[in-house]
Structure 1
Amino acid sequence: MEGQQEIIAQLEANIEQLLERYEFLQKENEILSNSNFQLQQSQKGLQDEITFYKEELQLLKVAKTLEGSEGYKTDTKAKIDFLVAEIDKCIHELNT
């Protein structure tokens, strides 16, 4: 009888430890989930910022190309003339 009571007492102690560990792990999981969500939001914000700056860089490159330096002014003018001619062709084809 005494051996059974010891086994029951040990089982109760083990169950109590398991319940405490379960509660601890639940809290830890909640903290990690919140941290993960915050990091995902931060990453999304940084990705949006990267996209914005990539677009800004592209616009600056286009502006710089159109501005042209002394050596590239003729090339830039030729590109613009070519684009205008292509647009004129498209308009002419649409009208016919």
Structure 2
Amino acid sequence: MSEIAEIFGSVEIRVEKLLKKLNSLEANLLQKQSELNKAENIIKNQENEIEALKKACESLKMANSLLGSEENKRDTKLKINSLIREIDYCITQLSD
């Protein structure tokens, strides 16, 4: 009978160790999920900031070319022509 009690005690100890390990892993998982969420938020914020900076850069390029800069003059002319076509299209749509 004592052998069964020893085996049962050994199993009980192993189960307790496994439960402690499980709790530890669950806590670690929650921490990692929290860190992942923070990282995802940082990435989203940085992507938004990059988009805003790209738009600002385009605006600055256009302003430079309008001020006489030769570097982006062609791009600015193309953009202006594109805007004029869009305006003409809108006027046509409103006229109908």
Counterpart of 1:43 in structure 2 is: 43
Gaps of 5+ in 1: none
Superposed counterparts of 1:73-88, under 5 Å: 79=77, 83=81
Alignment correspondent of 2:24: 24
Runs of 4+ in 1 over 4 A off after TM superposition: none
Partner of residue 2, structure 1: 2
User: 2:67 aligned with 1:59, yes or no?
Assistant: no
Distance 1:6 1:58 in 2: 77
**What is the TM-score with the length of structure 1 in the denominator?**
0.73
Corresponding residue pairs, total: 85
> Where in structure 2 are there 5+ consecutive unaligned residues?
none
Q: What SS class does the counterpart of residue 17 from structure 2 fall into?
A: helix
Cα distance, 1:30 vs structure 2:
0.7
Amino-acid identity (%): 23
* Residue equivalent to 1:33: 33
**CA offsets 1:65-94 (integer angstroms, 9 cap, x no match):** 11114x68xx77xx49x94xx75xx58xx4
Question: TM-score, normalization: structure 2?
Answer: 0.73
